[in-house]
Amino acid sequence: MILLLGGARSGKSALAVDLAQRGGAQVRFVATAQGDDDEMVARITHHRLHRPENWVTVEAPIDLVPAVRSTPGGDTILIDCITLWISQLMVDHDDEEIAARVDDLVTALEAHDGEVIVISNEVGFGLVPMDPVGRRFRDLQGRVNQTLARAATDTYLVVAGKTLRLDSDDVV
């Protein structure tokens, strides 16, 4: 599994598309976004236009694990993105339920016989949010990213279209 972390508009999605195309396998693009407003619809449209037409797209804003489990062996899975998935789960689920879903996701990704590319935002570089919901989201997203990074074979930080490979979790 390859985990791509970075801020908004850092180049994560473009890198993920490039990596998925290199493998030559059928790609299943698992989208977690929901077009609830005009601006988000425009973002989704932009991403679709920059995605190869022969890819299979699965919309999974909540039910990400079944989407992963139903992917045929040998196919590449590209998940874009964990951050939207987590923010949508927060509406109806507590942190323990979300952590269990993340554990189920990791198990499903590890069981998949094929390449896996996961995109998630790094939200820990900013200020401490002023409201409790923002702090909950930031803390939860940070814990989820750590869980995914532990499971990933390679983790990269993407900033301004440049990629930095992150070292293992060995203590320096």
Active-site amino acid positions: 47
How many Å is the maximal CA-CA distance in the chain?
47
The amino acid occupying position 96 is E
Sign of the dihedral through C-alpha 93, 29, 42, 82: positive
Partners of residue 57 on adjacent β-strands: 29
Question: In angstroms, rounded to a whole number, what is the distance separating the alpha carbons of residues 18 and 90?
Answer: 31
Question: SS3 of 172, please?
Answer: coil
